[in-house]
Amino acid sequence: MTAENRETQLYELKALESVLREKKLTKTSDWSNEFVEIEGIIEIGFDSISNPKVTLEGTSTSGEDFKVSLDILPPVRLEFRLPKDYPTESSPHFTLESYWMTENQMKMCEAELEKICEENLMMGVLFLCYQGIIDLIENLPTRTIRLNDAFFLGKNGESIESLKKKILGKGEEAAEEHFVNTLFDCEVCYDSLMGNMCIKFQPCSHVFCKACTFDYYRSIAKGLVSKAMPCLAEGCKSEAPQMVIKKALGEELYPKYEKTMLEKAIREIENTVECPGENCKKVAYVTMRELNLVECSYCQFAFCNLCKQTFHGISHCKRKKEQRDRMIKQWMEGDESVRAEMCRLFGENNMTSLVEQFLHEEWLDSNTKPCPSCHVSIEKNDGCHKMHCTKCDTYFCWLCGDALSKWNPYAHFRQGACEGRLFEGVLDEEEQQGEEENAG
């Protein structure tokens, strides 16, 4: 090897490295050792190909057909070795490696490499070979990859399942690299930014800059958040991955968001509730729905699912009135999904009984009044406002609720607040006057 050839090789490699993206040219020998031939690998990507959407399809060893969409064609590896007399006398030695190419496609690429070397004797050909493979693949029918026809299949015992996994992994890496190195327009601030400054939502593929996305997430996280962070496009149902949300919200807001989402998840899991223990608040499981028994495996607290107090067995639940009223209001104002969730949490029979009891009490409040002596509910169908409790034989006024004299109950309506009101609202004025005179 002449010193001039070695210098030419190193210069060519340096120029090639400046053209390729980072880490696309790899050394596999010691390039600083002048007694060792230069060897390396060039990774050839295909993001410059127009409309790079690719479908990977095939049949697994179990006979099951599969079809997977890739955003971009996976790269291939071009291994090279530069003889000591390259480029003055010899051409490079190439080995092409691809997980997805067929045998025919491999032979076409190898023929193209040989042709380029023959047409450019005594010249550096590494970049020409790199670009030649891209140009050739661009003109091949590569939008559909039939994996069962891949030349690599069976090589070194490679199964179709493991080959599929490798191709999907390489495809994702290529798509991410393509995204990072592409310019995008943010639909919020209208700035043009490289992909490494943006976020791409899946599966919708909407792209927004990180600054706008993070500002939006921080603004809504300061309120009550009970849903996943959405894509910024109007009406889009895509969600941001947790990694993006965590970076956006930071150490101050993310714990709050995570806690809220955890509580939401707890509510959605069958037969689970939050433990009411002051220092617990972990997930507890309803172990006996008919008795409303919930047991927390963290703090060992057994409690009633209705009143959230220590489990009281078959004894009457001491649910607080405020809690009951809140549940009734939620039931009455909620839609079908709210009622279904309440039935899941508290049991359908419990909710049915609670609502029936409320409706019964509401009817009693509207249509009956308690006896001032024994407090039994008395319904008034018609007649005057002098009422008689058949349970304790007490007379009382329907209007004010006061007990009346057993011997002269009508005296109450001749003086005081209820004077002249014995038939108020029942008879017209003339009929009322006549009935009062008879009562007197």
Instruction: Specify the CATH number for the domain of residue 128.
Output: 3.10.110.10
H or E element at residue 396: strand 394-397
Query: 47: pLDDT confidence band, cut at 50, 70 and 90?
Result: confident
Specify the amino acid at residue 53: K
Of residues 4 and 323, the one with the higher pLDDT is: 4
Tokens describing residue 261: 């989402």
Of residues 29 and 177, the one with the higher pLDDT is: 29
Given this model, what pLDDT does residue 425 score? 75
CB-based burial label for 37 (10 Å; 0-12, 13-18, 19+): middle
Same domain, 409 and 337: no
Q: How far apart are CA 105 and CA 100, in angstroms?
A: 10
Name every residue whose Cβ is closer than 8 Å to that of residue 54 and which is 6 or more positions away in sequence: 69, 70, 71, 72, 73, 142, 143, 144, 145, 171
Q: How far apart are CA 185 and CA 188, in angstroms?
A: 9
Q: How far apart are CA 38 and CA 82, in angstroms?
A: 5
Q: How far apart are CA 76 and CA 133, in angstroms?
A: 9
Nearest to 95 by CA among 151, 31, 144, 173: 151
Tokens describing residue 362: 């509401």
Instruction: Specify whether the backbone of 251 is left (phi greater than 0), alpha (psi in -120 to 50) or beta.
Output: alpha
Whole-Å CA distances, 209 to 183, 185, 191, 294: 11, 8, 8, 47
pLDDT tens track for 139-157: 877 778 898 999 988 787 7
Nearest to 240 by CA among 217, 258, 259, 224: 217
Q: Is the pLDDT of residue 229 over 70?
A: yes
Query: In sequence order, what are the beta bridge partners of 200?
Result: 207
Same domain, 366 and 382: no
Same domain, 56 and 173: yes
Three-state secondary structure along 303-358?
Answer: EECCCCCECCCCCCCCCCHHHHHHHHHHHHHCCHHHHHHHHHHHCHHHHHHHHHHH
* Cis, peptide link before residue 141, omega less than 30° from 0: no
CB 86 within 8 A of CB 5: yes
Of residues 341 and 80, the one with the higher pLDDT is: 80
Any idea what the CATH number is for the domain that residue 204 is in?
Answer: 3.30.40.10
Please give the average per-residue pLDDT across 258-274, as a whole number.
71
Same domain, 120 and 101: yes
Q: What is the pTM of this model?
A: 0.53
Same domain, 214 and 105: no
CB 59 within 8 A of CB 156: no
* Domain end marker among 123, 148, 178: 178
* Domain end marker among 163, 178, 193: 178
Q: Is the pLDDT of residue 42 over 90?
A: yes
CB 91 within 8 A of CB 5: no
- Residue 215, CB-side half-sphere exposure with 13 Å CA sphere: 7
Same domain, 237 and 105: no
In degrees rounded to 5, what are phi and psi of residue 60?
A: -75, 170
Using DSSP bridges, classify how beta strands 394-397 and 293-295 pair: parallel, antiparallel or unpaired. unpaired
User: What range defines the domain where residue 283 resides?
Assistant: 273-312
Tokens describing residue 242: 């947790």
Nearest to 290 by CA among 263, 273, 271: 271
Tokens describing residue 142: 């590569």
Please give the average per-residue pLDDT across 234-263, as a whole number.
83
Q: How far apart are CA 27 and CA 16, in angstroms?
A: 13
* Domain end marker among 370, 391, 411: 370
CB 240 within 8 A of CB 228: yes
Percentage of the chain beyond pLDDT 70 is 89
Number of domains in the chain: 5
Averaged pLDDT score across all residues of the chain: 83
Highest mean pLDDT among 36-40, 68-72, 416-420: 36-40
Same domain, 363 and 235: no
Same domain, 75 and 111: yes
Same domain, 36 and 87: yes
Given this model, what pLDDT does residue 420 score? 84
What one-character DSSP code corresponds to residue 154?
T
Q: What share of the chain is helix, strand, coil (3-state, %, to 5)?
A: 40, 20, 40
Same domain, 123 and 228: no
Q: Is the pLDDT of residue 438 over 70?
A: no
Same domain, 138 and 242: no
Q: How far apart are CA 371 and CA 31, in angstroms?
A: 106
pLDDT tens track for 303-361: 887 777 788 776 666 655 666 777 777 888 888 888 887 777 677 777 777 777 777 67
Please give the average per-residue pLDDT across 62-80, as a whole number.
89
Same domain, 302 and 172: no
